[in-house]
Amino acid sequence: AQKITQTQPGMFVQEKEAVTLDCTYDTSDQSYGLFWYKQPSSGEMIFLIYQGSYDEQNATEGRYSLNFQKARKSANLVISASQLGDSAMYFCAMSATGANNLFFGTGTRLTVIP
């Protein structure tokens, strides 16, 4: 079975600073994918970034990067140069070979302070 754990219910960051949102996962599969989604107060789920378990380099998408540490089973999201519009809920998720589901963590609420 797959499991995603996000231990930070809420985080605060100063505008223009970087912030790391933690995500650990558990799976017995060798092939899996890790994702991060953003959910602003308007409610939609926005895909941010993807990391495959066999990808050797950490994924990056603009100001988002995924710090993938396979041995530690962690997939932390790093947001650089935080903006007020980054204030939202952030969800970590994973998929695995043969699994019919995307497994989601419980989310971290990020608040960017001006």
Q: Report the half-sphere exposure of 7 (CA within 13 A, side-chain side).
A: 8
Asked if 50 is part of the footprint of another protein (rule: CB under 8 A), the reply reads: yes
Give the C-alpha separation, 109 to 90, whole Å: 6
Q: Which of 65, 95, 110, 112 binds another protein (CB under 8 A)?
A: 95
Whole-number Å distance between alpha carbons of 46 and 48: 6
Contact 34, 86 (CB under 8 A): no
CA distances from 29 to 53, 94, 96, 106 (A): 10, 11, 7, 22
Which tokens is 21 given? 């949102």
Q: Which is nearer to another protein, 16 or 47 (CB)?
A: 47
- Does 90 engage in binding with another protein (CB under 8 A)? no
Q: Which stretch binds another protein (CB under 8 A): 11-19, 66-74, 78-86, 104-112?
A: 104-112
- Does position 85 interact with another protein (CB under 8 A)? The reply is no
Q: What would the x/- binding string for another protein be over residues 2 to 41, using CB under 8 A?
A: -----------------------------xxx-x-x----
Determine if 107 is a binding residue for another protein (CB under 8 A). yes
What H or E segment, with its residue span, contains residue 113? strand 108-113
Residues that bind another protein (CB under 8 A): 31-33, 35, 37, 43-47, 50, 52, 91, 93, 95-102, 104-107
